[in-house]
Chains A and B, each alone.
Chain A
Amino acid sequence: MTEFLQHIVNMLILGSTYALLGIGLTLIFGIMRVVNFAHGELYAFGAYFVYFIAILLGFNFFLSLLVAIVAGGLLGALIEYVLLRPMRGADIDTTMLIMIGAMIVMQNGEQYIWGGVAKSVNTPFPQAPLVIGSVSVSWLSVFVFFAALALIAATYLVINRTKLGKAMRATFQDRDTASLMGVNIQMIYMATFALGSSLAAAAGALLGPVYVISPQMGNIASLKAFAIVILGGLGSIGGATIGGFILAFAEEIGAGYISSGYRDAMGFLIIIAVLLFKPTGLFARAERIG
């Protein structure tokens, strides 16, 4: 039983960060229909950025996190402006290829600048873990959990309670009508991409200190983000959140009780199952297929 409780705690923390990744991508993939393989690179960027200003420049850790999130958003806006805007209207696989190209350039650029050796970030949190009964968890992870939830809540508020969010939702539902109603589609696209990217950078900034930072860290983040988006349904923030936790649950329980070798397969098997029985994902509103 105690083992099970520990798995649940692990799952909650993992799930919150997966949710962050998933929400960022569901905005980009869901609204803009961009198969954004560079999403993982924004995640890595967030982590390296925190490393750069917190460790190399010596700034305050929490401040570094905030700055990394903003920097991620700016980088996202830049990518949208330079690479995606000129190709608006191109096929889904053409834009995907551009994002793959961006991913290759960014990843190898990171290796060129920082080298392939992993970097670690020290945080102001104590090393000794927090122990409640037989469940043990590090303070940093607790912080990450709450920070992730806060960011998810903030995103939800932005999307559902602000004018910008309303415009985004309108664009997602029906682009042409939104445009006719006076929504500046170009701005919305840039803002959406920037928001999604900043969430990816946030996930990286939070997780960089938990794990280690290396140029390859973005690859697995991208793959999981796509899985979560599909589980939750394109464009659904609530769906992506729950999807993140479901994936974490499948991995923890799968690896803990079934087989660690197939741990990563759990998530994908669930996706295949979900898509076969509910093709629009678990939580999307009914969507025209295609």
Chain B
Amino acid sequence: MKRYLSWIALIAAASIPLWLHDPYILNAFITTGIFIIAAMSLNLLLGYTGQLNLGHVAFFGIGAYTSALVSLGFDVELFGGFRVVHEPWPVWTGLVMGVIVSAFCGYIVGKLSFRVRGAYFVIVTISFAEVVRLVALNWVELTQGPLALTSIPPVTLGLPGIGYYDLYSKQSYFYLVLVVIVISYVIISRLVNSRVGRAMVALKENESLAVSVGIDVTSYLVLAAVVSAGIAGAAGGLYAHYLKIIDPDVFLFLYTVTMVIMVVTGGKGTLAGPLVGGLIFGFIPVFSRSFVGPELQWIIYGIFMIVIVFVLPQGIVPAIEKWFANREKPGLSKPAQAQVQDAP
């Protein structure tokens, strides 16, 4: 039953643009989808390696800026009067570059930050995000700073000579986002279920033990950081070409908070968690908007967060899984598959 669940969900999701004609809700699906991709990447670090990266929005923003700059072109003077000029490239190359540059930053941050753990790691990542934000804000020659990169072209797929296909309509953008969600899901799922993934979980559970068994902890953490950053960069690129303007506001701490909420309430360490959490918290503002005033919308959002975490501390998806497990096999205290459970 569970295996087919993902296929059913996918088909249901793919059908949405066919019957949903309300552009406002479709827009909400697209932006929520983009943040879900970023949340899934955060889940890789938080849920599977146990490290809380509160600067994750930095990778999102780096991906956004890279993709925008690659497709708009730029002209900057570096140290020593050395001028770098870049002509605009096709948009899909921008998205790819966004992933690569973000992943590279993930490598650097990973290598540097994983010398520390826990609370210290949290602060280092926040610091990194703040520094990146300030660079984006002040290096006006490259990033336009607060003047914003505008008129970012929409995504086009194609190759020179064969022809281009412009993804301008919402429907096509929805499918693009859905495709990236699926690809990211598959990548993360493959990674998590492989030897590498099991090693990661092992070091989340008990690092000293993992080290003693010979697992090269830092390498695995860095690998997770690279994949996580790359996927976040993809999300950022999609965001840039959808919104068509990027300014340092893309590094708002609020966005990291949004991603963390999606992951933790959905269920960290589960593949479906960020999707479920994402849909819920992406849509609470959309629906509460019609009913209550501005401050109350936020207060409801905050209360929802607190309540879900109180009632279901492991997240929604594990709670559902547990409920199904209890129903299918009454009398058995544990489900048959070995599952790595979080320590109580």
Query: Which chain A residues have a beta carbon within 8 Å of chain B's beta carbons?
Result: 29, 33, 35, 83, 86-87, 89-94, 96-98, 100-105, 107-109, 111-112, 219, 223, 226-227, 229-230, 234, 259, 261-262, 264-265, 268-269, 271-272, 275-276, 279-281, 289-290
17 more A-B residue pairs beyond the given contacts A93-B264, A98-B306, with a C-beta to C-beta distance below 8 A: A35-B52, A87-B313, A96-B52, A97-B260, A100-B260, A101-B304, A101-B306, A101-B309, A102-B306, A104-B298, A107-B298, A112-B296, A112-B299, A261-B137, A272-B112, A275-B116, A290-B117
Identify 16 residue pairs between A and B in the complex whose beta-carbon atoms are under 8 Å apart, listed by A's number.
Answer: A87-B313, A91-B313, A91-B342, A92-B52, A94-B313, A96-B260, A100-B261, A104-B305, A105-B302, A112-B299, A261-B137, A265-B135, A268-B131, A272-B124, A275-B124, A290-B118
Q: Is the CB of B119 within 8 A of A29?
A: yes
Does A83 contact B299, Cβ atoms closer than 8 Å?
A: no
Residues of B in contact with A (beta carbons under 8 Å apart) = 46, 52, 112-113, 115-120, 122-124, 126-128, 130-131, 134-135, 137-138, 207, 253, 257, 260-261, 264-265, 268, 295-296, 298-299, 301-306, 309-310, 313, 342, 344
How many residue pairs between the two chains, A and B, have CB atoms under 8 Å in the bound complex?
134
Interface majority SS (helix, strand, loop, mixed), chain A? helix
CB-based contact A101/B302 at 8 Å? yes
Distance A223 CA – B124 CA, assembled complex (angstroms): 12
A108 with B46: CB separation less than 8 A: no
* Contact yes or no, B207 A290, CB < 8 A: yes
Q: Is the CB of B309 within 8 A of A98?
A: yes
Chain B residues lying within 8 Å of A109, measured Cβ to Cβ, are 295, 299
Q: Which residues of A contact B138 (CB under 8 A)?
A: 259, 261-262
Cα of A96 to Cα of B309 in the assembled complex, Å: 10
Are B264 and A94 in contact (CB-based, < 8 A)? yes
CB A150 to nearest CB in B, in angstroms, measures 28
**Which of A90, A91, A101 has most chain B Cβ within 10 Å?**
A101
A35 neighbours in B (Cβ, 8 Å):
52, 119, 122
B131 near A265 with CB under 8 A, answer: yes
Known A102-B306, A111-B295; contact A230-B120, beta-carbon cutoff 8 A: yes
Closest A residue to B206 by beta carbon equals A290
A112, B295: Cβ atoms under 8 Å?
Answer: yes
